[in-house]
Amino acid sequence: MKKEGHPEYHEITVIMTDGTEFKTRSTYGKAGDSMRLEIDPKTHPAWTGVHRLNDAGGQLAKFNKRFKGFGTSKA
């Protein structure tokens, strides 16, 4: 088997969003590199159950503007 056929597998440090760290083995970067996560199980809505909608004039704003008075009676 060719030696160049597989990427190097080495130890890296993963830094979670709250600053905690753990070591794991990966093909990411070089030996001793750090990977900083933007989303992890402590912050992702799928695991926390907390959903935040951040919309600055996008699809949600267009929807709300279009259906602003829908369902309200004008008597």
User: Along the chain (75 residues), what's the average pLDDT of each consecutive run of 10 residues?
Assistant: 81 92 94 90 74 68 84 66
In a domain, 56, yes or no: no
In a domain, 13, yes or no: yes
Counted domains in the chain: 1
Neighbours of 14 (CB within 10 A): 16
3-state secondary structure of 23: strand
We report the CATH number of the domain holding residue 26 as 4.10.80
23: phi then psi, degrees, rounded to nearest 5: -100, 140
Q: 3-state DSSP helix/strand/coil percent for the chain, to nearest 5? A: 20, 20, 60
In a domain, 15, yes or no: yes
pTM higher than the cut 0.75: no
- Domain range spanning residue 11? 3-50
